[in-house]
Amino acid sequence: MENTLSERLSGQTAVVTGASSGIGQSVAMALARAGANVVINYGTRREPAEQMAVDLTKEGRQAMTFQADVSREDQVARMFQAAIARFGTVHILVNNAGIQKDSPVVSMSLADWQKVIDINLTGQFLCAREAAREFLRRGVQPEISSAAGKIICISSVHEIIPWANHANYAASKGGVLLLMKTLAQELAPHKIRVNSIAPGAVKTAINRSAWSTPEGREGMMKLIPYGRLGEPGDIAAAAVWLAGDDSDYVNGTTIFVDGGMTLYPGFTSGG
């Protein structure tokens, strides 16, 4: 099926978790503008999610919002049921919802450890399981896509880079790495592709304190060989590509969108 670049995802439906702000918002908008129907998941931020849906509708796109805690099995199931009831099926899942609760390990509470694991890792599992069940039920629609379904996990450079004072976050993203690869291995025979995008330093509200001052920006630039901070749109562009047939032979891999942060720039001068 041939589409123009702007409509390459026409006829497909995408669920984007944590889509009311930051990277998730940018991804959801980009998928919609590429032709997909979009389910905008949010946890607590109803107003920006609903405003996104209104804005997309004004552009002639199809969008709905759904409040769900991705760490809750029952809520995830209801979200997918609502998406299927509205749009008939789901073709794309972007597992984006994530949180940070940072502290040194010696003072990290069990509650903060567990909450981050629950949202960042268990949430990705629960959503991927629901998506895979729908992909398997429906099978390939060759007039829509070469794949039966696409799962895109939003990970982090910290799936491979240790991060002191962020043990829960780094552990959750390390888990996402092998969750993604295992799902990709298991589901590939069914024409389901699973990949990750690992952002580096991206200008979002979650890390505003690190980039909003000259001192913070200067410190971050030492970690980024390419010499600029990422924008949410950098991640969104990668997500649109992974969701489309141009990436049909890409499966079980992480795309690092990080300006070279994983090149370990501290070793440029010999470490």
Radius of gyration of the chain (CA): 18
Catalytic one among 42, 169, 226, 249?
169
Residue 216's pLDDT is what? Answer: 80
| Closest by Cα among 65, 196, 54 to 124 | 196
Q: Work out the angle at residue 177's Cα, subtended by the Cα atoms of residues 145 and 40, and round it to the nearest 5 degrees.
A: 50
The phi and psi torsions of 143 (rounded to 5 degrees) equal: -75, -15
Q: Are 155 and 107 in contact (CB under 8 A)?
A: no
Query: What per-residue string of b and e applies to 37-46 under the rule 16 or more CB within 10 Å gives b?
Result: bbbbbbbeee
Residue ranges with strand state E in the chain = 13-16, 37-42, 63-67, 92-95, 149-154, 192-199, 254-257
- CA–CA distance, 6 with 35 (Å, rounded to integer): 7
**Could you list the pLDDT tens digit for every one of the 271 residues in the chain?**
344 456 889 999 999 999 999 999 999 999 999 999 999 999 999 999 999 999 999 999 999 999 999 999 999 999 999 999 999 999 999 999 999 999 999 999 999 999 999 999 999 999 999 999 999 999 999 999 999 999 999 999 999 999 999 999 999 999 999 999 999 999 999 999 999 999 999 988 777 667 677 888 888 888 999 999 999 999 999 999 999 999 999 999 999 999 999 999 988 877 6
| pLDDT score for 271 | 60
pTM: 0.94
Half-sphere exposure of 210 (CA within 13 A, CB side): 15
Give pLDDT, residue 212. Answer: 72
Partners of 42 in beta bridges: 67
How far apart CA 1 and CA 214 sit, in angstroms, is 48
Q: Is 264 a catalytic residue?
A: no
